[in-house]
Each structure stands twice: as structure tokens, then as C-alpha cells.
Amino acid sequence: MVDIKQLRKEYTAYTLGPEDVSESPLAQFKAWFEQAVQVQVPEPNAMTLATCTPEGKPSARIVLLKGIEEGGFVFYTNYNSRKGKELEQNPQAALAFLWHELQRQVRVEGPVRKLSPESSTAYFQSRPKGSQVGAWASPQSTPIASRAVLEKRVEELAGQYAGAEILPRPPHWGGYVLEPTVVEFWQGRSNRLHDRIRYRLDENGNWQVERLAP
């Protein structure tokens, strides 16, 4: 096996200081995101979503960012999934984006709330039909006997909705928005002296911008 301890990379692409960032963390995120798209980072909207039970047991998975709307970061999922259940019990979460090509990370923390049914339906019905069928077919995060069971259910639903291009949204599926209270922008630098700029929402609703030690 490769010697994992020896896997290292020097970061020299960019620098980051308080004078380089926008007043708003969402504006700064959009600027970095656009740059990630321009340099063709694969799936720049892929993000780690970390949730936690009320007892403090965490879980994390990769999901896709679907918008910067309603003052936060929007994603969609099955409400009956593990993440959906954890968000129902403990509506606090964290996100992390990693863009290797730019040697950058972004971390986000804050409360999470459901989007309106209208917003969730509008997005659901904009998805490819196969994805709509899949949302109905999959009892996400529950054990199933085999993949064949899932494929049979997809086949049944495809027949049921053969004449329709748009399906109704499942009541157990919809969107969330994470409204940030902390956003950290990380830029890799040489000798592990990385640049870290943190936005923190204060008690008056104003963003405080701070440099953190790496």
C-alpha cells in the first residue's frame, strides 16, 4: 500500500486576505463558485452535508447544491432519509466544498429550514422524468432485499406515468435552505500557512470578517 503519510502537495496558486473578499459571504461564495465553474472543476456544486442527532451523533454525505436562494444554500432530498430525519430533530447543519483545482475550501454552518411546498414542487418538476420516478421509487436509507426490487418499482411507476412528462411531487421529498451564520473561505498556501477568512454573523445581524490562524 502507498505510504499515506508521504502524500503531500504544495499550495501556491492564490492568496487570500480580508481586503480580497466581499462584504457578504454569499457574494464571496458566488464569486469563488463562478471561478470554479470557469476552470472546469468537476461538479463544483458537490458538497459535504453534515447533520447530527440530538444526542450528538454526526453523519455526513455528499449532496449537490442547487441554488443560492432565500438567503442561503439550497439542496433537496428525501425527508424520510437519515439526513431528513436528523434535520427534523436537530435543524442545524454544516457544509463543506472542496475545489482541488483552485486549492480552495469553503465551510458553512447554520440553521436549516424546509423550502415552501411550492418551491419544492417547482424544482421537482424541472428534473428529468427518470429522476422524478426515482424519487417515488426509492425508500431512501431503508434496507431493501435487492436492486431488482427497486428496478421493479421503477418499471411499475414508469408504466403508471407513461403518458406524463411531469409527475406530482412525493410528499416525502423536497428542499431545504441552510441559512449561514458562519462561512469560512480557505485558500491553500505554501508550508501549510494557509489563508483562512471567516465571516461570522453577530448578534446584531452584521457580518464580522476575521482572519484565522491556519
Phi, psi of 94 (to 5 degrees): -135, 150
Please list, residue by residue across 23-41, b when 16 or more beta carbons sit within 10 angstroms of its beta carbon and e when fewer do: eebbebbeebbebbeeeeb
Which entry of 82, 169, 192, 198 is annotated as an active-site residue?
Answer: 192
Is 127 labeled as catalytic in the residue annotation?
no
Alpha-helical runs (H) found in 39-79: none
Return d(Cα 199, Cα 183) in angstroms, integer: 5
Cβ–Cβ under 8 Å, residues 115 and 79:
no
Which residues are catalytically annotated? 192
